[in-house]
Amino acid sequence: MSVNLSNVTRLVPSSVALLSVATKEKRDVMACGCMFVAEDQHFFIVSVAKHIFSHDLIEASGEFVLNIASEGQVGLAQKVGALHGQQIDKYQKLGIETEDRGKGKAPFIKSSFANIACKVVTSYPVGKYTVYIAETTDFAVDSTQKPLAWYGDRYFALKDEAR
Ligand SMILES: Cc1cc2nc3c(=O)[nH]c(=O)nc-3n(C[C@H](O)[C@H](O)[C@H](O)COP(=O)(O)O)c2cc1C
Q: State which of 29, 30, 90 you would mutate to test the pocket of ligand 1, scoring each by most atoms of that ligand within 8 A of its C-beta.
A: 30
Do 46 and 67 touch, CB atoms closer than 8 A?
A: no
pLDDT digits (tens, 9 = 90+) for 80-96: 999 999 999 999 999 99
SS3 state of residue 159: coil
CATH 2.30.110.10 correct for 14-153: yes
pLDDT at 10: 87
Phi then psi dihedrals of residue 45, to 5 deg: -120, 130
Residue 60 beta carbon below 6 angstroms from any ligand 1 atom? no
DSSP 33-54: --EES-TTS-EEEEEEETTSHH
Question: What residue's CA is closest to ligand 1, atom 13?
Answer: 32
pLDDT digits (tens, 9 = 90+) for 94-152: 999 999 999 999 999 999 999 999 999 999 999 999 999 999 999 999 999 999 999 98
pTM: 0.97
Mean pLDDT, residues 50-54 taken together: 98
Do 71 and 155 touch, CB atoms closer than 8 A?
A: no
Do 122 and 43 touch, CB atoms closer than 8 A?
A: no
- The pLDDT confidence band at residue 1, using thresholds 50, 70 and 90, is confident
